[in-house]
Amino acid sequence: MQLRLKLLSLLLIPFSLLLSYLYTLAPEKWEQYYSLGINKCTIQILSTITGIFPFSLFEWGIYLGLGSLILYTLYTLFKCITQFQDFFRLIGTYVLNIGCIGSILFFIFIAFWGVNYKRPHFSEHYGIEIGEYSTEELGEVYAFLLSEGSKARSKLPTDENGVALPLGDYRDIFKRAQLGYDVAGEKFTVLNGNYGKAKPVLASPLMNYTGITGIYSPFTAEPNVNISVPSITIPATTCHEMAHQRGYGFENECNFIAYITALSHPDPDFQYSAYIMAIAYTSNALATADRDLLLSINANMPEGIYTDLVAINTFWDGYKGEVQEATEQANNAYLQSNGVAAGTASYGEMVNLILAFYDKYY
């Protein structure tokens, strides 16, 4: 009976894939009843419960899971050595048990959040249509971001090196982040809802070596944020992970949602964090499209923004290496497996969304 249940649990993998496929057949209906209905309600309830804990249940779950896997593997190896006559049975049981756990986790991921990769794009709800934009238009938006970003930065404190600082520590940022969603939710109603706050990652210093600034847990509905990065980037990162919490999977969309929610925030540190993120993406895009135009605009870059960008780039330069490259490849494979054809390159697609946003609202 136990063996039969284990074998049946493996069928959760094809069943999960079937769920994802069914979503693609009628995405608008699925979004209405699942993403904005059942799933949204489930995430709000789950995140409220897990939000009671000040630490990340997901992070501790990873530690416990890895520890258990190591102990189970060592135990199996010990049994194989001491009971060599049962070697194939023990190995078969080990593989089956790991497969069952993986199948169950995959089903939970897909059923509780993963199918949201198939939902209609956020921009489609509000007529933010990506079009063809000239390099001159890209340059105009880039110059505008620098100008507006400088205004927001002027309201912020700086450290001894002249680098901009947020108005509070990460705890305060997590507490205030919802305000941006509340304001943006007046226009973009799909972002409304009451969810648990973001959580700090205990292993943030080690996380820097992977280049990852945050990770959302569908299993606990927790937005997890790397808190050892340059502090002015934490508000936008927090809003990004909160976008995943609201059922959006594509990275370019979550960056865009982070931009408009942080920009909508009443506090200048969130606004500036949005601008500094957008400036980084648009400058990279402009460097590829017309480097001479980028240099001409950067000749008048506000000194404060230049100081912050140098500090941020210097920080990340100190963590470049094989670990970050391996993580990039793994993340790329994960995104592509969930239908993000461009993989991590989709982060750059945020620039098109920013251009479309300014075309529509400015």
- At 342-352, the pLDDT tens digits run 443 333 588 99
How many Å apart are CA 320 and CA 290, to the nearest integer? 27
Other CB atoms within 10 A of residue 242 CB: 30
361: confidence class by pLDDT, cuts 50, 70, 90: confident
Q: Are 58 and 236 in contact (CB under 8 A)?
A: no
Q: What tokens does 308 get? A: 């912050």
pLDDT digits (tens, 9 = 90+) for 70-87: 999 999 999 999 998 889
pTM of the full predicted structure? Answer: 0.89
pLDDT tens for 189-210 read: 999 999 999 999 999 999 999 8
Cα–Cα distance for residue pair 288/74, rounded to 1 Å = 51
pLDDT greater than 50 at residue 170: yes
Over residues 94-109, the mean pLDDT reads 95
Percent of the chain with pLDDT over 90: 78
CA gap 183, 210 in Å, rounded: 33
Which H or E run includes 9?
A: helix 2-9
Has residue 3 got a pLDDT over 90?
no
Q: Residue 50: pLDDT above 80?
A: yes
Lowest mean pLDDT among 134-148, 216-230, 348-362: 348-362
pLDDT at site 4: 84
pLDDT at 159: 96
Positive/negative CA dihedral, 146, 149, 150, 153: negative
Rounded CA-CA distance 21/83 in Å is 45
Is 229:213 a contact under the CB 8 Å cutoff?
yes
pLDDT of residue 341: 47
> Domain segments of the chain: what residues?
2-118, 123-361
Spatial distance between the Cα atoms of 243 and 142, rounded to a whole number of angstroms: 24
Q: Residue 1: what pLDDT? A: 57
Q: Phi-psi category of 173—alpha, beta or left, where left has phi over 0 and alpha has psi -120 to 50?
A: alpha
pLDDT of residue 42: 96
pLDDT at 105 over 60: yes
Euclidean distance between CA atoms 204 and 240, whole angstroms: 17
Map residue 154 onto helix, strand or coil.
coil
- Indicate the burial class of 79 (C-beta count within 10 angstroms; 0-12, 13-18, 19 or more): middle
pLDDT in tens, 291-334: 999 999 999 999 999 999 999 999 999 888 554 444 344 444 43
pLDDT on residue 321: 59
SS3 content of the chain, % helix, strand, coil (to 5): 75, 5, 25
pLDDT value for 57? 97
